[in-house]
Structure 1
Amino acid sequence: MFKKLTLSAAALCVAATPMLAAEATATTDLNFREGPGPEFAVVGVIPGLEQAEVEGCMEEGAWCKISYNGETGWAHRSYLSGSATEATKVTTTRTVTYTREGGNEGAGAAAGAVAGGAVLGTIIGGPAAIAAGVVLGANAGGNAVPAPETRTVTYVTENPVDPIYLDGEVVLGAGIPEDVTIYPVPESEYSYLNVNGQDVLVREDRTIVYIYR
């Protein structure tokens, strides 16, 4: 049995024609996923300031269907800009349809968990949050930190924690809500957690500064 979700579209600064996808710029290194939600596996990453083709966006949601480097998936609209110089909100006139077989089975156990109420909150802002007049240059990777020490990488990988799911996308500079548990890394200035299926390091202010890809 198929569960069909019809996603009606909303607006890009240059409207897409029925035969031509619109282009949008990733305002930071941006995951794109198998489906429109944080529970779906990551297909790939659009590097910051690179362009992807947008087939359509959800009208009452935050996800757009995109193509990048020969791969297709779903990316979070908050980090897609309709301009190469300003973070202007991405919209498109196209309508896209998503079909999942067998309810949540098509997305695996993680999707079932999220559908069962495991979304705990919303990722806070981030360097590429859509706002009029925001110039992208400093946003793409501007909050990155040097690669963590080997002992930090080893500790995080050898001490996995259960994933938590938040509305939004895992990007550098985004914040973790105060009511979400983070785990200190011994002898390190960082803590860590698994957000939407990816391990991340956060500073004391709960800002994401490193993403394990």
Structure 2
Amino acid sequence: MTLKRNILLAGAVLLASSGLAQAEMVATAVNDLNVRAGPGPQYPAVGLATRGSTAVLDGCIEGSRWCRVDVNGMRGWVYADYLQMEYAGNQVIVEQHRAEIGVPVVTYESTASVVPADPQPAPGDELIGPVGAVDAITPPETVRTYIETNPAQTVRLGGDVVVGAEVPGDVTFQTIPDYEYRYARINDRPVLVDPGTRRIVYVYE
């Protein structure tokens, strides 16, 4: 009986040791970002990971910027440009250091028919720039009214449309009368942009 118990204890220690060997990869959301049901903007959002949220990173798809994470009780896909991890004593963006960090490669197989919105950004399309810190704003209702009565042509960009993301230099903004911020429609979502930094300061749902 004692021998059997010792064998069981030894097995428990072995399992615990193997668990320690497979340490979780922990990343942090650099800004608010959508967690999606699949690796692409055409998939529905399952929730929002707020800036600073801790995410357990399963891995990323090879040749893609989409990574699978567990964050705030949600399991889904996010853009690697919006995740950071500690590497060599510094916080680095996951997408820029995947090889050095040793991010595992994962695959995705769709189990449901998801019809992308028309049209979706293609893999080679220009991406929304890196996310940076911006001051949160609450635009007046008159701005929404102006946007609704003066619709801009939508611009297609790769990546999630989130506050703090930098809009590429070739995207033109629409001036709003008597208002410091500019307006653009990115991937069918109206956004307000700081013309000085070209960063998104507000996203209309």
The AA in structure 2 aligned to 1:96 is: V
Q: TM-score, normalised by structure 2?
A: 0.69
The amino acid of 2:203's aligned partner reads: I
The CA deviation string for residues 81-104 of structure 1, in whole angstroms up to 9 with x for no partner, is 1239943243454332212368xx
Give every structure 1 segment of 4 or more consecutive aligned residues whose post-TM-superposition deviation is greater than 6 Å.
none
Percent identity over the alignment is 34
Q: Give the Å deviation of 1:148.
A: 1.0
Matching residue of 1:209? 201
Match in the other structure for 1:38 = 41
Match of 1:99 among 106, 109, 122: 109
Residue 92 (structure 2) aligns with: 88
CA RMSD in angstroms, aligned pairs only: 3.2
Aligned partner of 1:122 among 118, 121, 127: 127
Q: Quick check: 1:76 aligned with 2:79?
A: yes
Secondary structure of residue in 2 paired with 1:32: strand
Instruction: Return closer, same or farther for 1:66/1:118 CA change in 2, 3 Å cut-off.
Output: closer
Greater mean alpha carbon deviation, residues 53-62 or residues 159-168 = 159-168
CA distance in 2, matches of 1:75, 1:89: 13
Deviates more, 1:38-47 or 1:71-80: 38-47
* Gap runs ≥5 in structure 2: 1-19
Aligned to 1:195: 186
Shift of 1:172: 3.1
**Paired residue for 2:143, among 132, 143, 152?**
152
Larger RCO of the pair (alpha carbons < 8 Å, separation 6+): 1
**Would you say how many aligned residue pairs link Structure 1 and Structure 2?**
178
SS of 2:86's equivalent in the other structure is: coil
Is residue 182 of structure 1 aligned with residue 173 of structure 2?
Answer: yes
- Alignment partner, residue 171 of structure 1: 162
Q: Is the 8 A contact 1:26 1:48 kept in 2?
A: yes
Q: CA deviation at 1:157?
A: 4.6
Say which SS state the counterpart of residue 64 (structure 2) adopts. coil
How far did residue 26 of structure 1 move? Answer: 0.7
Contact 1:26 1:51 in 2 (8 A): yes
Deviations along 1:39-88, one digit per CA (max 9) or x if unpaired, are: 44433221111112222112322111112233222111112112399432
In our comparison, the structure showing a higher alpha carbon Rg is 2
TM-score by length of 1: 0.67
| 2:69 corresponding residue in structure 1 | 66
Q: Does 1:49 align with 2:49?
A: no
Gaps of 5+ in 1: 1-14, 128-141
- SS of residue in 1 equivalent to 2:107: strand
In terms of fraction of residues, the more helix-rich structure is 2
Pairing partner for 1:108 from 116, 122, 129: 116
Q: What letter is aligned with 2:202? A: Y
Q: Give the Å deviation of 1:208.
A: 1.2
